[in-house]
A and B are shown apart, each in its own frame.
Chain A
């Protein structure tokens, strides 16, 4: 639980809430065409389920928040730049919304979607 305690009471933020923010942020990132469950097999990359946290995992470890995101990127873009951008954007939005700092944002590129053949 991401906690903030002050004299007026305490605020608990569930992992699911964090995951939703991260999910939205990742989807808005340029180059990301979908999020994928980490166990998704290759060949099923077209299947993108409409779960608001699908493809995002939030873990707590010793009071630190780690986020893992599994994304599908548009073929033809520079993967490292897109992944870097996702990492920064997710961190930015989650930290802005929660006021907490995130330990790690790990971006996993699960697949590429080929829209056009070069």
Chain B
């Protein structure tokens, strides 16, 4: 193997993470963060596995919140001792445990921490002992353990770890084995729990636990943990500016390559090759021309170009030194495109959570004092929300979560700040916008909160997205890959075409009884597609005003407001 080949460099990097430096408390901290991040990236996948109706709330969200609480306990900890960090994680997860799966997760950490106790470093044998202890503690917490759940996956992980120890005492090799075993265990859960088989899903809690371990493995491998799937986007949406929002350590250069793929081009293979080099990978396609965007460390800055040359003909290359660019910008890049409303002392300031840049602009234009970008996963942490308003020169804060999964995190902020915080429980962007219209910055706080809350019910929310699996709810049958329309969060229509779904949704929402239809189009749509659909809507609803805005949100093709 050539010493400078990508293969060798990747191998070296991985070894540096797990082997060269022994696994101490700080390594555990990074691994825990990786597990949390990857789980958060796949949070919605876990949520979608819940068997309706759910007595417990969204498993994915609960596990993320629990892991987050665990991580918050150690994020500022500089301690080297492995055992001490483990104990802190256990403590944090206990305090933040949400839902059944969260409590079980906290038990797993508890057993793990007790086993490693005060150890300086983690090695193979102690790792296996700790995983067994984790399983034992978790099983102790219930009279009748139900198999086919997260408990089973924890059990299979412990068994796989014990097996692996017979062949190796390298923690990295053991981690590989347990991730593989966890994956198999999750796939097997429908065989153990009939209700899973009926619903055609695997167990949500088990899948969540798998993601935590997989995240750690991906981190050790140098693979990306904040983009979960290859999504081919229209060329126009591979925006360079977004790249600066979050730069991981070690990613120094941003490389963008335009190319025409050759006849043997395989997108999955290409993407996997890119994953070995860097992160924040986006591949866009427009009229036969592909554009790839990637962040790489300095020593690998030419890799994407060389690699792409083997896959096609390059037409253009752009490289930017990210760190140098970061130093030139003064303010956080998030706020730089928006003109946010200036806040005077004693005024009410509104913090809005937004899924897309276009929508952020609308909130800003309506008077929002701060915007929290929800990002790909629409799951900002409590801390991110607090950071948005903590430095505003006023004590009166109103938060618009604009998503039902964020309401909890928004409400948690009131415990962590001395400011007066009210959360208007907006479950969607249209609701949030309706509330914004009632904002009176100089008004009396409780009165304004009351008015804004009342506004939530005055607008109907439509969301158009693609079905990630086949479901039948409320008498509506949707096949995986079809478009579905949700009215105020409920599935009401499904259609193979985007246009048909939109029209169906508007019909279910009785749009003809209302006056204004506003469509926010997502990042995945081209202008021409949007125009075509809007024309069709205008034709169907000649008596209503139809407005179009660029929303820029991921996942949802359209967010529609009917009022």
Contacts and interface: CB of A to CB of B under 8 A. Distances in A.
B94 interface: yes
B102 A81 contact: yes
Nearest to B205: A30
B103 A30 contact: yes
Nearest to A91: B55
Interface centre among B97, B110, B114 (most CB of A within 10 A): B97
A78 B97 contact: yes
Given A118-B110, A118-B114, A78 B103 contact: yes
Contact of A29 (B94, B98, B102, B142): B142
Contacts of A46: none
Interface in B43-96: 53, 55-57, 94-95
Given A31-B103, A88-B56, A118-B114, A74 B97 contact: no
Contact of B95 (A30, A78, A91, A92): A78
B174 interface: no
A30 B110 contact: no
Given A81-B99, A82-B103, A88-B57, 4 more contacts: A28-B144, A29-B100, A77-B94, A92-B53
A10 interface: no
10 contacts: A30-B103, A33-B142, A74-B140, A78-B97, A78-B102, A78-B106, A81-B98, A115-B137, A116-B114, A118-B110
B93 to A, nearest CB: 9
A77 B103 contact: yes
Nearest to B95: A78
Interface in A5-57: 27-34
Contacts of B503: none
A77 B100 contact: no
A76 B137 CA distance: 10
Given A29-B100, A30-B104, A85-B99, A92 B140 contact: no
A28 B57 CA distance: 17
Nearest to B69: A78
A66 interface: no
Given A82-B103, A85-B103, A88-B56, A33 B143 contact: yes
A29 B100 CA distance: 8
Contacts of B104: 30
A118 B110 CA distance: 9
A102 B98 CA distance: 24
A89 interface: yes
B346 interface: no
B146 interface: yes
A85 B100 contact: yes
Contacts of B98: 81
A114 to B, nearest CB: 10
Question: What's the interface size class on B, roughly?
Answer: 20 to 34
A116 B111 CA distance: 9
A27 B106 contact: no
Interface string A60-87: 0000000000000010111001100100
B55 A92 contact: yes
B107 interface: yes
Given A27-B144, A28-B144, A116-B140, A77 B56 contact: no
Nearest to A117: B114
B144 A77 contact: no
B335 interface: no
A32 B104 CA distance: 12
Contact of A89 (B53, B56, B95): B56
B194 interface: no
B103 to A, nearest CB: 5
B481 interface: no
A91 B189 CA distance: 25
A76 B94 contact: yes
B141 interface: yes
Q: Which 9 A-B pairs have the closest CB atoms?
A: A92-B55, A78-B97, A74-B141, A88-B55, A115-B140, A81-B97, A30-B100, A30-B142, A27-B143
A74 B139 CA distance: 11
A76 B55 contact: no
A29 B141 CA distance: 9
Contacts of B137: 76, 115-116
A118 B94 CA distance: 13
A80 to B, nearest CB: 9
B139 to A, nearest CB: 10
B21 to A, nearest CB: 29
B72 to A, nearest CB: 15
A13 to B, nearest CB: 20
A37 B94 CA distance: 28
